[in-house]
Structure 1
Amino acid sequence: METKHTNKKVLVEGLKKMGISLLCMFLGPSLIHIAFSNQEKPLYIPILILGILVAGCAVFFAFKGLKTILDSMFKK
């Protein structure tokens, strides 16, 4: 019976996705805070929309990265 090993290439890919998620986790709320701090400026709405999209990307990449890491450990 063969023992299972972690697929290192897939693991590195998952860690990269988690790194992107970590970057977005800081950038998204920062953009949202900047937008709400400057509500009278003309770029309020575009910065707010960008911040919400970046925050959504943080959640997306966190799930994709975690799934990729688990696949590297438990799939054949």
Structure 2
Amino acid sequence: MGLSLICMFLGPTLIYIAFSNQEKALYIPLLILSLLICGLAVYLAFIGLRTIMDSMFQQSSS
């Protein structure tokens, strides 16, 4: 969940930086990287929430 939180702030920040520098040569790679980081944030959030929910509602095997 901590990595997800970092990615949730880093991704939109990089998107803002990419869109504010559209005339630069690294515009497209930075935009692709930032979109991948945003996707990673969503993925990590789902994995973290699933882990938390599994630990809370785990069935007892006895």
Which has more radius of gyration?
1
TM-score by length of 2: 0.92
2:45 to 54, 59, 62: 62
Q: Which runs of 5+ in 1 are unaligned?
A: 1-17
Greater relative contact order (Cα 8 A, min sep 6): structure 1 or 2? Answer: 1
* Equivalenced residues, count: 59
TM-score by length of 1: 0.75
Q: Which runs of 5+ in 2 are unaligned?
A: none
The amino acid across from 1:68 in the alignment is: T
CA RMSD of aligned residues (A): 0.6
Give the ranges of 4+ consecutive aligned residues of structure 1 lying more than 6 Å apart after TM superposition: none
